[in-house]
């Protein structure tokens, strides 16, 4: 009896995560909002920095002392309705562009906080969207990958089995349904930003068929030039405005907002803007394990006459980055 048991255990140990096929109707690749809100707050690459996340959200008045959603509502927002995430124009939007986990422990707490805020925001005409980062996709593809050690430690400390979570148990079910990007008006948000010159329809098709075939262990998400992994994709030695504009035109946008690379524009620890608002880089290395900074939020504000993008720091100070 013993040998088959050991063989079975070995096989189980090598097993890849396997969850249910994703319902793409309920959980599309890209979250699209057609009603543009007055304020969009964006951050990325929290990497377990729970206390720093809480400080930032408080500075932005998005949560109260008990960490409950207090994002504002705006008169004139259309609100109401329930059509596919397009009917939340009345309240603040908060977008988190992936890599919530790994590097520091605290990623699980961050995910749980954001999941709760998502439910609360929905009830007050706000919207919280968390997109996949490469770290989440890599965990879902292989919870034994080297980078996942801090997150796996956290799961085990709570009595959770990493393979089961990656297969869709508990928070894993929510993680497996996260969108890969967000399009809101002419702004496009994703972890690394490389849409490869494809239309959103073509990119959707590519990612859906990759995940349907290989779950999260798919090149569509994990190859070095993917929308979750690419670095410096806008440059080929020098910045390529033609390439960026081609990519923007293909998805019907004028701004790319992404995280993933703390040295994207050469200067670590600060939110970057490049090429007249075409590119915004948000990985400020806020994880205690990275510690380039204590974090920053990008705030996109619309009035009837202008659109501005500002940076808000944990102390609540706000500085203008871009205006159109």
Give the residues lining the site for Mn ion (CB under 5 A).
99, 133-134, 260
Question: Residue 38 or residue 207: which is nearer to Mn ion going by CB?
Answer: 207
Measured distance CA(249)–CA(237) in Å, rounded: 22
Residue closer to Mn ion, measured from CB, 39 or 52: 52
Cβ count within 10 A of residue 34: 14
For residue 180, give the nearest of 124, 140, 233 by alpha carbon. 140
Beta bridge partners of 189: 182, 257
Question: Structure tokens of 135?
Answer: 């770290």
Given the complex with Mn ion, which of 87 and 227 has the nearer CB atom? 227
User: Could you tell me the smallest distance in angstroms from the CB atom of residue 53 to Mn ion?
Assistant: 16
Question: Which residue has 């705006």 as its token pair?
Answer: 74
- CB-wise, 126 or 133, nearer to Mn ion? 133
Question: At its nearest, how many Å lie between Mn ion and the CB of residue 191?
Answer: 6
Identify which of residues 99 and 154 has a Cβ nearer to Mn ion in the complex. Answer: 99
| Cα gap 319→214, rounded to integer Å | 44
Q: Which residue has the tokens 């940076």?
A: 311
Q: Residue for token digits 């900074």?
A: 293
Q: Where are the alpha helices (DSSP H) in the chain?
A: 2-13, 50-59, 107-123, 134-141, 149-157, 162-166, 171-176, 200-214, 219-222, 241-251
CB 193 within 8 A of CB 133: no
Rounded to the nearest whole angstrom, what is the least distance from the CB of residue 265 to Mn ion in the complex? 16
CB of 135 to Mn ion, least distance (A): 6
Give, rounded to a whole angstrom, the gap between the first and last alpha carbons of the chain. 72
State in angstroms the smallest separation of the CB of 103 from Mn ion: 10
Shorter beta-carbon distance to Mn ion: residue 176 or 260:
260
Q: How far is the CB of 65 from Mn ion (least distance, A)?
A: 31
Give one word for 275, left, alpha or beta, with left for phi > 0 and alpha for psi -120 to 50: left
Report the chain's C-alpha Rg in angstroms.
19
Q: How far is the CB of 105 from Mn ion (least distance, A)?
A: 18
Cα distances from 229 to residues 99, 104, 195, 313, in angstroms, run 11, 20, 11, 26
Residues linked to residue 236 through DSSP beta bridges, in sequence order: 238
Nearer to Mn ion among residue 221 and residue 251 (C-beta): 221
* Residue facing Mn ion at closest CB distance: 260
Q: How far is the CB of 133 from Mn ion (least distance, A)?
A: 5
Q: Measured from the CB atom, is 63 or 114 closer to Mn ion?
A: 114
Q: How far is the CB of 229 from Mn ion (least distance, A)?
A: 7
What DSSP designation does 195 have?
Answer: -
Query: Residue 101 or residue 163: which is nearer to Mn ion going by CB?
Result: 101
Residue with tokens 């972890």: 191
């Amino acid at each position: 009896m013993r040998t088959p048991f050991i063989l079975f255990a070995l096989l189980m140990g090598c097993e890849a995560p396997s969850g249910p096929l994703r319902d793409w109707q309920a959980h599309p690749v890209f979250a699209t909002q057609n009603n543009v809100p007055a304020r969009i707050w964006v951050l990325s690459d929290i990497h377990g920095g729970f206390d720093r996340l809480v400080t930032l959200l408080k500075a932005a008045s998005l949560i109260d002392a008990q960490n409950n959603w207090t994002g504002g509502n705006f008169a004139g927002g259309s609100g109401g309705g329930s059509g596919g995430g397009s009917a939340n124009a009345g309240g603040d939007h908060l977008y988190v562009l992936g890599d919530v986990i790994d590097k520091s422990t605290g990623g699980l707490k961050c995910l749980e906080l954001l999941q709760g805020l998502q439910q609360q925001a929905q009830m007050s005409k706000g919207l919280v969207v968390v997109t996949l980062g490469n770290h989440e996709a890599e965990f879902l593809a292989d919870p034994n990958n080297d980078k996942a050690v801090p997150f796996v430690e956290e799961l085990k400390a709570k009595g959770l089995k990493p393979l089961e979570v990656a297969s869709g148990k508990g928070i894993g079910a929510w993680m497996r349904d996260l969108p890969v990007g967000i399009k809101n008006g002419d702004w496009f948000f994703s972890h690394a930003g490389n849409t490869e010159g494809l239309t959103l329809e073509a990119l959707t098709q590519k990612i859906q068929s990759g995940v349907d075939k290989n779950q999260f262990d798919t090149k569509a998400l994990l190859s070095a030039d993917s929308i979750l992994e690419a670095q410096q994709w806008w440059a080929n030695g020098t910045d390529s405005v033609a390439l960026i504009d081609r990519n923007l035109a293909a998805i019907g946008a004028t701004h790319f907002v992404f995280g993933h690379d703390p040295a994207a524009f050469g200067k670590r620890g600060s939110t970057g803007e490049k090429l007249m608002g075409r590119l915004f880089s948000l990985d400020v290395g806020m994880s205690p394990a990275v510690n380039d900074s204590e974090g920053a939020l990008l705030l996109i504000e619309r009035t009837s006459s202008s659109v501005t993008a500002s940076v808000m720091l944990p102390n609540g100070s706000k500085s203008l980055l871009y205006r159109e």
